């Protein structure tokens, strides 16, 4: 990954990441930071990260060949043998150096550059895209690319900010306790959006309360300056616990409970149409989302809340939401041979799986509705019951057939049959290849097929096989 920074001298770069300049001209300049030699261009600085299965120091020669002017290293013995044109900055640990660089660089941004942190159990990437689309109607926005929301992607997004940036929209992801605190301290948010709380990564976070503790961490870092605020889901059962963690202004959104910004008059007919209402203002606007699923309304409300708080007109907000470019493999609709595939298989946890099944229940279909559901990973002791619960829900969503994929997904099949779904309509298989074979025997023109499972299951291969 590569991100442009305000042009800086090597001496300043060394100061920001607390590095020792081993070799090179202190007055030399760099304009971009990269951790991937494949994206390097002339004049970049390469940070040689190390991990369990890789070592960036092995690619210093490639970095020099691609025109990099500097490298941040933690192994000077191997680095000193790199081409002499490559300036070298030594640090004890390159990942820590990346975090220090991003943290100190963020502090250099003018007060007018505001950072919005997005956390939550699910819906972060779609909310990020919606939010960037809304703010982009009026402001200069830098956003997290794809879903690069981890300990590498978040600091690199900070390094993409510059003095012309009005808003940095940064997605924060965590699956272990304490990771969210580290990321929050790097990005230093002015605004926080918590999408929802649910069973996600509970193998490491323990339970739903552990998820709430972790995902709500950015709320504690919001400044008490009168301008900072948090956008929270009033329909989420953890709403009160989350709002208690900040003294910043709370902006609530919802469908069922009272909220500052609400959705009403909801219509699901292929796309999603609703009326956005501003409480106490008697202002509203009709919005039509070019995507699938009632759950997308919450994402849209949170994006709208930020836009409204920044003084945007409702028509600007509507325009942004109606022209979002949605991320791949998130409710991505593909028509293959007369069959409608809903590719929602980038990842899966119980909240997102339930949202996908609700979409299937609510969305009209010319033919039959079939779901291909894979394992939900990182659930620990909750694995069996969570899959059984999804199976029970699947049995009551109007499905003509259910294909489950993976070892844990067998409990989805069991849960569906226990809840009353005919056993002959439930097909458990172990892998994506078997799922293709099972689906070929079931599917007909006009059918709608949902593909949903954790990333490792690779259920996108199912629609790809039909398109081949």
Question: Which tens digit of pLDDT belongs to each residue from 107-162?
Answer: 999 999 999 999 999 999 999 999 999 999 999 999 999 999 999 999 999 999 99
* 203: Cα within 13 Å, side-chain hemisphere: 10
Q: What's residue 2's pLDDT?
A: 57
Domains of the chain: 2-93 (3.40.1390.10), 109-321 (3.40.1190.10), 332-467 (3.90.190.20)
> Please, which pLDDT band fits residue 255 given cuts at 50, 70 and 90?
very high
Percent of the chain whose pLDDT exceeds 90: 93
Predicted TM-score (pTM) of this structure: 0.95
pLDDT band at 7 (very low <50, low <70, confident <90, very high): confident
pLDDT of residue 224: 87
pLDDT per residue over 324-351, tens digit each? 999 999 999 999 999 999 999 999 999 9
Query: Does residue 468 register a pLDDT over 90?
Result: no
Average pLDDT over residues 82-101: 93
């Amino acid at each position: 990954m590569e991100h442009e920074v305000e042009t800086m001298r090597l001496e300043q770069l060394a100061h920001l990441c607390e590095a020792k300049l081993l070799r090179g001209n202190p007055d030399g300049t760099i304009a971009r930071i990269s951790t991937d030699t494949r994206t390097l261009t002339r004049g970049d600085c390469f940070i040689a990260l190390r991990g369990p299965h890789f070592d960036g120091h092995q690619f210093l020669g490639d970095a020099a060949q691609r025109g990099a002017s500097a490298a941040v290293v933690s192994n000077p013995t191997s680095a000193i043998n790199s081409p002499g044109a490559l300036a070298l900055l030594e640090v004890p640990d390159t990942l820590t150096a990346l975090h220090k660089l991003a943290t100190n660089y963020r502090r250099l941004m003018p007060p007018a550059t505001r950072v919005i942190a997005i956390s939550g159990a699910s819906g972060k990437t779609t909310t990020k895209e919606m939010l960037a689309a809304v703010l982009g109607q009026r402001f200069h926005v830098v956003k997290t690319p794809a879903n690069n929301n981890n300990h590498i992607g978040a600091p690199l997004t900070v390094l993409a900010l510059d003095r012309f940036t009005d808003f940095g929209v940064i997605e924060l992801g965590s699956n272990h306790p304490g990771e969210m605190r580290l990321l929050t301290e790097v990005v230093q948010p002015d605004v926080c959006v918590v999408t929802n709380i649910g069973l996600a990564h509970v193998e490491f976070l323990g339970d739903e309360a552990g998820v709430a503790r972790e995902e709500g961490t950015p709320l504690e870092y919001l400044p008490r300056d009168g301008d900072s605020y948090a956008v929270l889901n009033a329909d989420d059962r953890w709403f009160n616990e989350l709002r208690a963690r900040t003294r910043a202004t709370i902006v609530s959104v919802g469908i069922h409970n009272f909220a500052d910004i609400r959705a009403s008059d909801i219509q699901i007919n292929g796309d999603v149409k609703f009326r956005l209402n501003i409480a106490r203002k008697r202002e509203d606007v009709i919005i039509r989302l070019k995507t699938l699923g009632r759950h997308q309304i919450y994402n849209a409300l949170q994006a709208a809340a930020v836009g409204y708080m920044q003084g945007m007109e409702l028509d600007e907000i509507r325009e942004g939401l109606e022209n979002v470019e949605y991320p791949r493999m998130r409710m991505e609709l593909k028509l293959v041979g007369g069959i409608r595939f809903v590719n929602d298989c980038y990842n899966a946890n119980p909240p997102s799986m339930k949202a996908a099944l609700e979409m299937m229940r609510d969305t009209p279909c010319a033919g039959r509705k079939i779901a291909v559901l894979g394992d939900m990973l990182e659930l620990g002791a909750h694995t069996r019951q969570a899959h059984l619960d999804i199976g029970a829900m699947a049995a009551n969503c109007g499905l003509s057939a259910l294909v489950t994929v993976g070892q844990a997904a067998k409990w989805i099949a069991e849960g569906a049959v226990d809840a009353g779904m005919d056993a002959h309509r439930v097909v458990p298989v172990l892998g994506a290849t078997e799922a293709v074979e099972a689906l070929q025997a079931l599917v007909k023109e006009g059918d709608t097929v949902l593909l949903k499972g954790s990333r490792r299951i690779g259920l996108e291969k199912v629609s790809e096989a039909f398109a081949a």
